[in-house]
Amino acid sequence: MKLLLRNHTSTLLLALALAGLALPPAAVHAQQSAKAAKAAKAKKARKAKTPPPPKKPAVDYEGEFVNFGQWKEVKQFLDDMAAKHGFDRLELETLMGKVRYVDSAVQLMKPAPPGKPKNWQAYSKLFIEPVRINGGVRFWDANRDALARAEALYGVPAETIVGIIGVETVYGANTGRFRVLDALTTLAFAYPLAPQRTARMEFFKGELESTLLYARQSGIDPFSMLGSYAGAVGLPQFMPSNIVKYAVDFDGDGRVDLRNSPSDAIGSVAAFLVAHGWNRDDPGPIVYAATVSPSRQWERYLNQGLEAKFRQEDLMADGVVTTSSLPAGMPFGLVDLQNGSEPTEFWLGTNNFFAITQYNRSFFYAMSVVELGRAVKLTRQQM
């Protein structure tokens, strides 16, 4: 009986449609419901046939097992850790048996082939750009209280902290997904052939030591620490030794978490800068634009270390000129930002500029932090 009624209804709807007559509301509703049910059924079928997206791997590399625990240099390192810090030697050997060799870290540490001359304008475009500027505004708004507290406690302006975290990880978007223990062990004992290879291996051995100490102190599995291919951790990309020395529990939860706590990252960046010479009493900008005379007497101020140590009077006498007045009695360093075939930019850097270079020993890096911080602050003020 139901089948006859359904067929009758279908015949009636077809006749009305052929006659050009409007369908009654009930018929329209029935027709729409039938179409919706059919579409839902088709969607469900397609979904059933579509395989789920592949699961994202826990780390960004394929680690190779090479049994680091059998290497002579590694055995000596483990002996030293047991004797110096009281680690259980057998536990360390078991831990090292789980470490993987990271070839991508080795490849990334190889010296770059000779290329184009340094170009500040090209470099700066990678960092002073809309994604980082807009992300900086959001980060500042979301963490305004922690930034204000860090500025009050340490004397480091919010824009400088925002600039560093923006340059380092785009406010936590790119913190790295390498197991720190894998990366540091690889670089400590299998660093590629390169200038200063021995010194670099000693540096990474020190970072590996700090990783094990920090993990024990914090009560965490050292394999749970994720970071960059060079072992840097969290929003501010602190090396493990810097976590031990300078990181602070700025959110007051009883632990330092640079990967998941923006507050801890903010306080730790400020603490690091103060420990490396940041002076809250320095007035005015961090850098001052300058020009130089054709005499080239000013060249003796270049490549003189990462510190502000020259008197204004001497700089001016040798042909360095600024477009704005300088604070009386403050020392400066001459900063040259090369632009390839274009003219070099010159600036006078303060103590606070050179404190930023202790985070990354590069004028390009420090200037990117300054310019990104300025851009974020200006954009935020205009909103």
What count of other Cβ atoms lies within 10 Å of the Cβ of residue 57? Answer: 9
**What is the b/e burial string over 313-333, where b = at least 16 CB atoms within 10 angstroms of the residue's CB?**
eebeebbbebeeebeeebbbb
User: Is pLDDT of 311 > 90?
Assistant: yes
- CA-wise closest residue to 287 among 352, 213, 365: 352
Q: What is the pTM of this model?
A: 0.84
Q: Which residue has the tokens 């990474």?
A: 204
Question: How do residues 338-367 score in pLDDT, each as one tens digit?
Answer: 999 999 999 999 999 999 999 999 999 999
User: Is pLDDT of 299 > 60?
Assistant: yes
Residue 251: which domain range?
Answer: 68-116+175-257
Question: How do residues 158-183 score in pLDDT, each as one tens digit?
Answer: 999 999 999 999 999 999 999 999 99
Average pLDDT of the residues in 235-249: 98
Whether the CB-CB separation of 239 and 207 falls below 8 Å is answered with: yes
Question: How do residues 143-157 score in pLDDT, each as one tens digit?
Answer: 999 999 999 999 999
Largest CA distance in the chain: 108
Q: Which residue has the tokens 């240099």?
A: 73
- When divided into structural domains, the chain yields a total of 2
State the CATH number of the domain containing residue 86: 1.10.8.350
Instruction: Based on the fold, state whether residues 248 and 320 are members of the same structural domain.
Output: no
Instruction: Based on the fold, state whether residues 112 and 208 are members of the same structural domain.
Output: yes
What count of other Cβ atoms lies within 10 Å of the Cβ of residue 90? Answer: 10
* Spacing of C-alpha 321 from chain mean position: 35
Instruction: Based on the fold, state whether residues 247 and 197 are members of the same structural domain.
Output: yes
Is position 313 within any domain? Answer: yes
Cα 370 to Cα 379: distance, rounded to the nearest angstrom: 14
* Six token digits for residue 42: 């088709």
- Residue 46 confidence class, pLDDT cut points 50, 70, 90: low
Instruction: Based on the fold, state whether residues 253 and 298 are members of the same structural domain.
Output: no
Is position 78 within any domain? Answer: yes
Beta bridge partners of 321: 291
**What is the b/e burial string over 208-224, where b = at least 16 CB atoms within 10 angstroms of the residue's CB?**
bbbbbbbbeebeeebbe
Amino acid 30 reads A
List the catalytic residues: 168
Helices and strands counted in the chain (H then E): 16, 6
Amino acid 125 reads K
